[in-house]
């Protein structure tokens, strides 16, 4: 074999080895990033819980695994938690004329809480609007959801004027009247209903205000180079105090007070979270979200959203963009923050402060 042949064979071998090494390096570089072995986050998120998400807040004890914290659920058909302060005529949080149609029900005598509970409508909705019943407690003189063993001197039935599905309409109002009348008949009471056209007009005005003062913000964090695995995303988010949500591919930053909606949400591809081998799932973007009217401004949610996005982008080699993929600069975020302060002031002026019970009900 000539020296030229040997040289060519060696050169070919070196080129082949270089190609193999390059492909291996490229594959490693583009593989989804994995969590640190000594600081790993849970590999899987809890399964979703069926049902819609409106407006009474509770924690489902059956979804809490060990000491791990989870996202609150919203369920319209659960009673208000007994540990919470009960609403009064002068205290908002229960039925309130600001956002509810209220039909008072007078009684000839006293009615038991047991009878009221038995007479409750089977579903507490009129169309898409929540319906609630409260009784005037004989002993405390406060309005409260009916409690077994208590006695009540009057009742009131209310339906919400508006929520994110729109304003109360004539059909929904009529359904409310039917439910309230049925309850009143069962407790031997006499209801008094407000004029339908007046209430529907009030509902439209409230809906107009709500629709022009609603805000749900989101930042998109996109990978610059290597994709991320679900465990890698969860691990980095957990370092910023995010916890597992009730839906695969979702995490939340809990509020400081138990039972309140989360301050921020973080979501990524649900299919990646549900994959047979999540470590091999490639995530190239995630979304940070803030439901402005649901969170008290004293929590500084937008500032925390910016800080979380910046920290994740730095640690995970990502870039912060809007939903169209345009990078978000600090100047743009400053403008958004200024606009949010004006929005908070407008909500305050209507007694619908962000994070208040009334705002959480209206913007749901």
The CATH number for 100-210, chosen from 3.40.50.10540, 3.30.1300.10, 3.30.1400.10, 1.10.10.60, is: 3.30.1400.10
Mean pLDDT by 10 residues, the chain (364 residues): 63 60 51 58 41 34 34 36 35 79 97 97 96 96 96 98 98 98 97 98 98 96 94 96 93 92 95 81 94 97 97 96 93 96 97 97 96
Give, for 134, the enclosing helix (H) or strand (E): strand 129-137
**Contact criterion met (CB below 8 Å) for 294 and 274:** no
How far apart CA 57 and CA 72 sit, in angstroms, is: 7
Token couple for 7? 């040289």
Decide: 72 and 267 in contact? Cβ < 8 Å: no
Q: What's the CATH fold of domain 57-75+213-362?
A: Cell Division Protein Zipa; Chain: A, (3.30.1400)
354: number of Cβ within 10 Å = 24
Write down the pLDDT at residue 272: 84
**SS3 state of residue 215:** coil
Residue 307: the pLDDT is 97
Instruction: Give Cβ neighbours of residue 84 (< 8 Å, ≥ 6 apart).
Output: 259
Q: What does the DSSP 8-state code read for residue 55?
A: S
- pLDDT (0 to 100) of residue 271: 87
User: What are the phi and psi torsion angles at 312 (to 5°)?
Assistant: -65, -40
Burial label, 92 (beta-carbon count in 10 A; 0-12, 13-18, 19+): middle
H/E stretch holding 160: strand 151-160
Q: What pLDDT score does 299 carry?
A: 96
- Residue 266: phi and psi, rounded to 5, are -135, 125
106, 135 Cβ separation under 8 angstroms: no
Long-range contacts of 236-242 (CB under 8 A, 24+ apart): 236/312, 236/315, 236/316, 237/41, 237/266, 237/312, 238/41, 239/39, 239/315, 240/308, 240/311, 240/312, 242/266, 242/308
What Cα–Cα distance (Å) separates residue 25 from each residue in 31, 201, 318? 10, 66, 21
Question: Among 166, 186, 81, which Cα is nearest to 126's?
Answer: 166
267 and 323 Cβ atoms separated by less than 8 Å: no
DSSP 48: P
Among 291, 128, 153, 315, residue whose Cα is nearest residue 203: 128
**Can you give the pLDDT at residue 213?**
96
pLDDT at 231 (0 to 100): 93
109: which 2 tokens? 């005598």
- Cβ(363)–Cβ(294) under 8 Å? yes
Total-model pTM: 0.74
40 neighbors 229 (Cβ within 8 angstroms): no
Q: Which two tokens stand for residue 93?
A: 């949080």
Give the Cα-Cα-Cα angle 75, 363, 167 (nearest 5 degrees): 100
- CATH 3.30.1400.10 residue ranges of the chain are 57-75+213-362, 100-210
């Amino acid at each position: 074999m000539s020296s030229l042949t040997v040289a060519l064979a060696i050169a070919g071998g070196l080129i082949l080895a270089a190609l193999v090494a390059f492909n291996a390096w490229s594959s490693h570089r583009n593989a989804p990033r994995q969590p640190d072995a000594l600081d790993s986050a849970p590999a899987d998120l809890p399964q979703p819980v069926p049902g819609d998400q409106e407006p009474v807040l509770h924690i489902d004890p059956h979804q809490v695994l060990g000491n791990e914290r989870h996202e609150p659920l919203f369920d319209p058909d659960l009673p208000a938690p007994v540990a919470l302060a009960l609403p009064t005529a002068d205290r908002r949080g229960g039925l309130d004329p600001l956002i509810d149609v209220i039909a008072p029900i007078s009684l000839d005598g006293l009615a038991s809480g047991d009878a009221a509970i038995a007479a409750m409508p089977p579903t507490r909705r009129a169309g898409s609007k929540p319906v609630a019943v409260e009784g005037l407690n004989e002993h405390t003189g406060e309005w409260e959801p009916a409690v077994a063993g208590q006695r009540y001197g009057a009742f009131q039935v209310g339906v919400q004027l508006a929520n994110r599905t729109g304003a109360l309409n004539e059909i929904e109002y009529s359904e409310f009247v039917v439910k309230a009348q049925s309850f009143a008949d069962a407790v031997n009471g006499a209801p008094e209903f407000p004029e339908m056209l007046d209430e529907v007009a009030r509902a439209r005005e409230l809906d107009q205000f709500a629709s022009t003062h609603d805000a749900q913000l989101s930042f998109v964090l996109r990978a610059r180079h290597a994709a991320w695995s679900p465990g890698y995303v969860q691990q980095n988010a957990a370092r910023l105090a995010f916890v597992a949500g009730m839906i695969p591919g979702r995490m939340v930053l809990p509020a400081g007070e138990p039972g309140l909606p989360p301050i921020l949400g973080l979501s990524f591809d649900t299919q990646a979270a549900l994959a047979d081998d999540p470590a091999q799932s490639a995530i190239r973007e995630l979304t940070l979200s803030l439901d402005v009217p649901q969170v008290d401004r004293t929590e500084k949610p937008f500032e925390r959203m910016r800080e979380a996005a910046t920290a994740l982008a730095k640690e995970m080699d990502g870039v912060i963009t809007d939903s169209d993929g345009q990078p978000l600069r600090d100047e743009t975020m400053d403008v958004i923050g200024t606009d949010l302060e004006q929005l908070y002031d407008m909500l305050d002026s209507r007694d619908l402060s962000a994070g208040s019970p009334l705002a959480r009900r209206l913007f749901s």
